[in-house]
């Protein structure tokens, strides 16, 4: 028997808000966290926009001061979101009330979608390398002197996964996914697989990234992916994306486990998918084939029909080909059905590895409140996106079931089907 997967807690930290409620309030009121980057000198840089966490204070976000010596800004953001979700779920109160929590800890997993690299710290060796002028011995001496002794620990992509397990004592199945823009969505899919297979009873899923760090920008700029004027999903004048930072986390449980502890259920994950286009590292199909297949497979996994979908949370990164391909995919799967389409990157920036988790939380809140926020930066719907029912005005979901689409480099696509029905 397939086990139902329910959502019993969530939390997030974004440029638009310090938690899920504040981020949601910003989205529904049309407030954007995108502005000129403040963490680096951008005076001579054409792409000055970024969606950065405001009032970043690591000691406020992570209480363990000793831990802060070993982790990066990215990790801090991820751990904060995880802590919010765990607290929201009430899972620790239940665990700590057990006479023997061993089994509970062993059957609680941690699944994380993380950036593949720590942009800021991957350059720490460049100075010593340049100064050594090809002398390997001199490089070794200079690196030992100049590079932080905790460099390796700081740069590990699985820090958040490890520290969530350590902090809370969760020892069940785990996985760390580094798959660019679908990292968090794939982490959700992995967690659901383990939950349905009966390997675990509950899972903490986290997605986090700080894609707006200056060290990441030249790479994206060199490929023509960044906008200097703003992120305008599906708009005629769209010219690229704006990078952001943030994290989202969900507590997932089997319905039986949630009922056993009397947990409040906020919604459920009905199905998921991950597919590849298999055509190139930077390829993006303009016909939306990968998105179409991802949606169809997720619907198949969920047991829901296309007619049951009430809203679509689009990837909507502002790329000309990507947005157009998505719109064509929606038409391919749903025909001329008037399913409201929205996106959140106009407010949050493109948070890359974190986007699937953050946008799943916001989609759940859309369904809960019966509101599909408009996209304020949409001034004129592009003709090549006309197949998507996207608007600058708020719409109403057709049902309590929605899908979340995420895309990534290497032609990767994912889809999460979730419901607010409890």
Predicted confidence at residue 176, as pLDDT, reads 97
pLDDT confidence of residue 39? 85
CATH topology of domain 5-118+157-419: Peroxisomal Thiolase; Chain A, domain 1 (3.40.47)
Domain positions in the chain are 5-118+157-419
How confident is the model over 69-90, as pLDDT tens digits?
888 899 999 999 999 999 999 9
What pLDDT sits at residue 415? 98
Per-residue burial over 206-239, b if 16 or more Cβ lie within 10 Å, else e, is bbbbbbbbeebbeebeeeebbbeebbbbbbeebb
The pLDDT tens digits of the residues spanning 237-283 come to 999 999 999 999 999 999 999 999 999 999 999 999 999 987 766 66
**Would you place residue 125 in the very low, low, confident or very high pLDDT band (cuts 50, 70, 90)?**
low
**From the centroid of its chain, how far is CA 12?**
10
């Amino acid at each position: 028997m397939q086990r139902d997967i329910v959502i019993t807690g969530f939390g997030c930290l974004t440029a638009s808000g310090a938690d899920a409620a504040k981020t949601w309030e910003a989205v529904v009121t049309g407030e954007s966290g995108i502005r000129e980057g403040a963490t680096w000198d951008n005076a001579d840089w054409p792409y000055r926009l970024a969606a950065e966490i405001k009032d970043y204070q690591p000691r406020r976000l992570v209480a363990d001061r000793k831990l802060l010596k070993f982790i990066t800004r990215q990790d801090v953001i991820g751990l904060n979101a995880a802590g919010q979700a765990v607290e929201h779920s009430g899972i620790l109160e239940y665990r700590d009330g057990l006479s023997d929590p061993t089994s509970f800890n062993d059957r609680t997993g941690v699944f994380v979608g993380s950036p593949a690299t720590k942009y800021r710290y991957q350059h720490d060796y460049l100075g010593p390398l340049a100064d050594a002028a090809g002398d390997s011995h001199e490089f070794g001496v200079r690196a030992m002197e100049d590079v932080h002794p905790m460099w390796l620990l700081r740069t590990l992509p699985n820090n958040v996964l490890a520290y969530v397990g350590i902090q809370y004592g969760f020892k069940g199945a785990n996985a760390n996914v580094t798959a660019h823009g679908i990292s968090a969505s794939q982490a959700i899919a992995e967690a659901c697989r383990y939950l349905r297979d009966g390997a675990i009873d509950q899972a903490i899923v986290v997605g986090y990234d700080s894609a707006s760090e200056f060290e990441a920008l030249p790479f994206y700029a060199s490929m023509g992916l960044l906008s200097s004027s703003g992120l305008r999903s599906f708009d005629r004048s769209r010219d690229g994306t704006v990078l952001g930072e943030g994290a989202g986390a969900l507590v997932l449980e089997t319905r039986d486990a949630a009922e056993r502890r009397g947990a409040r259920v906020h919604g459920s994950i009905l199905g998921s998918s991950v597919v590849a286009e298999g055509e190139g590292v930077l390829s993006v199909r303009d016909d939306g084939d990968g998105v179409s297949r991802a949606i169809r497979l997720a619907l198949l996994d969920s047991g829901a029909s296309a007619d049951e979908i009430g809203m679509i949370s689009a990837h909507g990164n502002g790329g000309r080909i990507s947005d157009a391909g998505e719109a064509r995919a929606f038409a391919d799967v749903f025909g001329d059905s008037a399913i409201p389409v929205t996106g959140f990157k106009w407010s949050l920036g493109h948070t890359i590895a974190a986007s699937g988790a953050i946008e799943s939380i916001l989609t759940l809140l859309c369904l809960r409140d019966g509101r599909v926020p408009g996209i304020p930066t949409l001034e004129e719907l592009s003709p090549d996106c006309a197949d998507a029912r996207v608007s600058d005005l708020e719409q109403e979901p057709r049902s309590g079931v929605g899908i979340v689409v995420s895309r990534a480099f290497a032609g990767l696509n994912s889809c999460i089907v979730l419901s607010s029905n409890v």
